[in-house]
Amino acid sequence: MSQETIVRFDDVSFEFGINKPILEEVSFSIRRGAKFTLMGQNGAGKSTIFGLISGINKPESGIINIVKGLTIASARQVIPRAELDLTVREFFEKCFQNKSSAKVYDIDVRIDDILEVVNLKGHEKVHDKIIKTFSGGQQARLLLASALIQDPDLLLLDEPTNNLDKAGIAHLTKFLVDYKKTVLVISHDAEFLNAFTEGVLYLDVYTRKIEQYVGNYFNVVKDITARVEKENMKNAQLAKEIQAKKDQANVFAHKGGRLRLVARRMREKAEELEEDIVEVRKEDRTIRPFTIPSQPDMIGEIFSINSFSIADPKKHKIIKKKAYISLKKNQHLLLTGPNGIGKSTLLEKLASGKSEGETVKEGIRIGYYRQDFSTLNFDDTVYQSLASAMLEGGEKLDEERMRSIAAGFLITGEFIRTRIGSLSEGQKGLVAFARLVLQKPGLLILDEPTNHINFRHLPIIAEALDKYQGAMILVSHVPEFVKQIRIDEVLDLEK
């Protein structure tokens, strides 16, 4: 039974809107009990494949075979805005609305059990709590729990480690290692993936096809890299032979007589060799190295903290703490603490100017990267968003310069004319970074800037933050990323 194919794509094609092909004649299969990673560049269409499997999207052509009676549940990347005002109970009840017309009478018990699984502590009185009152990390756990509570035959996880702290990732990893059913996961977290996946479905953004590999995550990535290098070497050798044949053919062609026949045969041989050139899978493009300019003419203290508030989930109360942190130009602060303690709340208060124990110097321009991208206007096109950022940065609209900066973040062609609300989460992240470059902030506030971002881009982003010369406050649960950035002070909200 374990070898049964439960999902099969046969020559499936899909377009997003008019003339926006995402998949072209894609074929792959998933067997019962398998645990696979779905890889691909930001915007390649990974979430689209999840939509096709769950029936939200319909293919333009081809056949999708799902074994009869298969139950499927998906953990999305973000909670839809329309669901943020629901209570926890209402949020979880929605998970069963399309499964059965019968009411789930033991929903509170199920909620308690599943919150224990995702390590969401202090949940005794949680059922009537409003979703938007939870932190980003806690919302990530609720999204995960909303899929797990359904106990599906096929579990689809879209960036499940985003916003999770170290304890949360460890808890999730153990759950997936022990999970007896089928899992397909989209993630950029290599260590997490290697702990439980046994193969990779790679969606190539250029060919728009899926390549299927078997093996653990690190081995598959190594195999892909080795294959690309081997094919590049073979192509280089073939190109050399082709050019030699063409050069010889040109020499013989000018000598006339029987040598013209030799020249024709050499050209034919060159054409045969050209057919042998392998179409190498192009690697994901990375963003160009960039600099976030800081607001000019800043002197003295830019930002200070005298006191701050944290949430104590066990005692269900807010605790006020004293501290003294002062940041000047070219100083970087790392803000740490577990999910739900109040890191994002503190950053939000700072950015809005509504804080009590924290002060930002008057006239300082704030560049705020929010983990939910709510600083972006989802109704704007990317062009409008970048143009407004350029004006905020004190520049006149210079379209050529704006497009040049956008291109460095892979924002080209149709991308720049697209509504922000229609972008993938990873693409929204790239737009947010491009805006920071154009804004020239004096204080840079970054809340989980690695979320949704292709792992190839992260070293470039880390280098830009390391070199940033304004004041910076960073929240990140990714130690490998933080290690690459100069940190001058650390404020641990828990200690």
End-to-end Cα separation, the chain, in angstroms: 51
What is the CA angle 178-182-184, rounded to 5? 105
**pLDDT tens-place string over residues 455-471:** 779 899 999 999 999 99
Q: Which residues of the chain have pLDDT under 50?
A: 1, 101-102
**pLDDT tens-place string over residues 48-66:** 899 999 888 899 999 999 9
Angle between helices 382-392 and 399-408 (to 10 degrees): 110
Separation between Cα atoms, residue 48 and residue 312, nearest integer Å: 39
What is the DSSP-derived secondary structure letter of residue 393? T
pLDDT given at position 365: 93
Give 394: exposed, middle or buried? Use CB within 10 Å, 0-12, 13-18, 19+: exposed
Residue 339 DSSP SS3: coil
Residue 230 DSSP SS3: helix
Residue 47 DSSP SS3: helix
> Which domains does the chain show, CATH number per domain?
5-220 (3.40.50.300), 301-492 (3.40.50.300)
CA atoms within 13 A on the CB side of 418: 19
Indicate the pTM of the whole model: 0.68
pLDDT given at position 419: 93
Q: Residue 488: what are its φ and ψ, rounded to 5°?
A: -95, -30
pLDDT given at position 1: 44
Helix ranges restricted to H, 130-216: 136-148, 166-178, 190-194
**Token pair 């956008």: residue:** 406
